[in-house]
Structure 1
Amino acid sequence: MDHPRVETNGRIGPVNAALTPRYAGLGTFARLPRIEDVSKADVAVVGMPWDSGVSYRPGARFGATHVRESSRLLRPFNPAQSVSPFAELQVADAGDVALNPFNIDEALKTAEEAAAQFVSDGTSLITIGGDHTLALPLLRAHAKKHGPVALLHFDAHLDTWDTYFGAEYTHGTPFRRAFEEGIIDSSGVCHVGTRGPLYGTQDLEDDARFGFGVVTSNDVMRMGVDEVVGFLRERVGDRPLYVSLDIDVLDPAHAPGTGTPEPGGLTSRELLEILRGLRGTNLIGADVVEVAPPYDHAELTGLAAANVVYEYMSLLALGKDAPAGGPAYGESNTTYGESK
């Protein structure tokens, strides 16, 4: 079946929802073209269906497909950022990376090699699905090109623990390994949204030794979004920035579909506004992990994750020279054809 697409500035965009119902057609992210259907992609969305590093509830291996299905409602123009990302950049869905569910070392090597192929070709990479173990190979791939990168880590948890059952590579250890490998810039790293019980004060002492700043979910509530954004922008400066986002940074009321939920988290509105506040930073890549659809009633988690990816795309479209701050909702000098 032929499903006409919106095309602007020579870029192939999503299937036109005025001609094909949103619930019909191929389930690519935001119903964008597959990567084989474009000559070159500025941004590639890549699924990472793997969750062999989890310590509690599994299910994130199904996250990539779930986020894609949840993205069908996304529209071409983002009024909160006053940008049409699919008109400014050629965005394509590159499918899933086949990761060995029985061998963690092999899976991480495969993820790193796949990511490095996109990054080395100059394609900005956004990955969806999988557990947080995957942040490590993704950081490795980006550091190969950019050197040690600044990192904003959105999560309920620190993920800087040492081992689980003697295993060094789990979803609770990626950023400790990243520090040890020298692939993150310790002067430009920060957790956002952390909360909940820890194993002991040593957790915080180790985390501080690795250089992490911390903005807890309580800090977001008390400081407010604008002050938090100002702190994060000062923290990362103009360094190459990677954003790694565990969907459990959101309160379970907003994202129940995840493996290790913690009460007292961010709202969807707070999270999206903080991400929008990063406009003009030197974003080089990003991920959304720990989306576990078996626990996602009403598709709340998938919808939140899909909109996070959309904000990533908008930031990339605006570029590192975009002025800080954003337009009032509805202010725009751009259009993109589709209105519904």
Structure 2
Amino acid sequence: MTVLRVPHFLGEYLPELDLPLQGDDVILSDLPAGDTWVRLAALLAPVADAVAVAAGRGERPVVVSGDCTTAFGTVAGLQRAGIDPAVVWFDAHGDVQTLETTASGFVGGFALRMLLGYRPEWVASRLGLRPVPEHRVVLAGARDLDPPEVAYLEGSGISRAEVVGLASAQLPDGPLYVHLDLDVIDPIGVPGLRYPAPGGPNCAQVTAALSMLLATGRVAAVGIACTWHPGHDAAAAVGDRLESVLAAN
């Protein structure tokens, strides 16, 4: 297991961000001036490079960061290494907004939709990221959805699942990229979340689902999005369980 730490939130360097895993490498970039997408592409290019190297050596990279957009670099890196992953996306939110549907304009709300091929000129084309087909995606734990997201998901090929009871039979074939936004956990167990969504599973239930996925032997990479504000000791609330599950598999 290779742990890559990316202490950023949407391209903003957060040196004080508490991340729950110690890393083999910390990815820091001198980000250029420009819009969010230019800066994100510059940050995620070395993420893709590092993932490609680790995956090419037969290792399983774990990318720990402050938001969900690092998934673009992780999946691009796997693809460069000749791995075509399906995606299991744990998140309290759908992350399938578009510019045409979003009410807030929040960039993180586009993350899964962009992985599926939306607006490739923003980041994907810069990284050489190929879109993941909808039918190769499982969205687990999403409960805070805007009406446009509900409508999109109902008509898409994306599979929906609950975290508790997630089974290997629900998974797409082939290698897997497992993306874990830690706001999928009920906020009572994770202090300081940026976008808390009550009614979710607890940390033990989420890590049990992660353990099941890892036990399949098909997980090519894991992304962990620590979508919380620094200074609340959120990492301490989840770190031991995450480290134990990852080390055991």
Structures share a fold, TM > 0.5?
Answer: yes
Residue type of the alignment partner of 1:49: P
Q: How many pairs align?
A: 229
| Stretch moving more, 249-258 or 155-164 | 155-164
Contact 1:157 1:194 in 2 (8 A): yes
Aligned to 1:229: 166
Distance in 1 between residues matched to 2:208 and 2:238, nearest whole Å: 13
In the alignment, the residues of structure 2 paired with residue 143 and residue 185 of structure 1 have an alpha-carbon distance, to the nearest angstrom, of 14
Using the TM superposition, give the Cα deviation of residue 122 of structure 1 relative to its aligned residue in structure 2, in angstroms: 2.5
Q: 1:203 to 1:257 in 2, by over 3 A?
A: same
Superposition map of 1:1-340 within 5 A:
43-52=1-10, 62-63=16-17, 65-68=18-21, 93-100=23-30, 103-163=39-99, 170-180=107-117, 182-198=130-146, 200=147, 202-216=148-162, 225=164, 228-230=165-167, 233-278=168-213, 279-292=215-228, 294=230, 296=232, 299-315=233-249
Structure 2 residue matching 1:203: 3-state secondary structure: helix
Give the 3-state SS of the residue equivalent to 1:132 in structure 2. Answer: coil
Per-residue CA distance 1:276-321 (angstroms, 9 max, x = gap): 222224111101112435352xx35433144224313323xxxxxx
The separation in 1 between residues aligned to 2:195 and 2:68, in whole angstroms, is 11
- Give distance in 2, aligned partners of 1:62 and 1:115: 24
Higher deviation after alignment, 260-269 or 176-185: 176-185
Whether contact under 8 Å (1:149, 1:183) holds in the other structure is no
Report the alpha carbon displacement of residue 253 of structure 1 after superposing the two structures with TM. Answer: 0.6
> How far apart are the structure 1 equivalents of 2:103 and 2:16?
25
1:117 Cα deviation after fit: 2.4
Residue 254 and residue 95 in structure 1: after superposition, are their counterparts in 2 closer, same or farther (change >3 A)? same
Instruction: Name the CA shift for 1:127/1:239 in 2 (closer, same or farther; >3 Å).
Output: same
- When the two chains are superposed, the root-mean-square deviation of aligned CA atoms in Å is 2.9
Question: 1:110 deviation in Å?
Answer: 2.7
Q: Which runs of 5+ in 1 are unaligned?
A: 1-42, 72-92, 316-340
Matched to 2:246, the amino acid is Y
Larger Rg: 1
Alpha-carbon distance in 2 for matches of 1:185, 1:197? 21
Q: Which moved more, 1:205-214 or 1:125-134?
A: 205-214
Stretches of structure 2 that go unaligned for 5 or more consecutive residues are 34-38, 118-128
| Matched position secondary structure for 2:160 | strand
Alignment check: 8 A CA contact 1:259 1:290 kept = no
Change (3 A) 1:234 1:173: same
- Give the percent of matched residue pairs that are identical in Structure 1 and Structure 2: 20
Q: What amino acid is aligned across from residue 206 of structure 2 in structure 1?
A: L
Helix, strand or coil at the partner of 1:262: coil
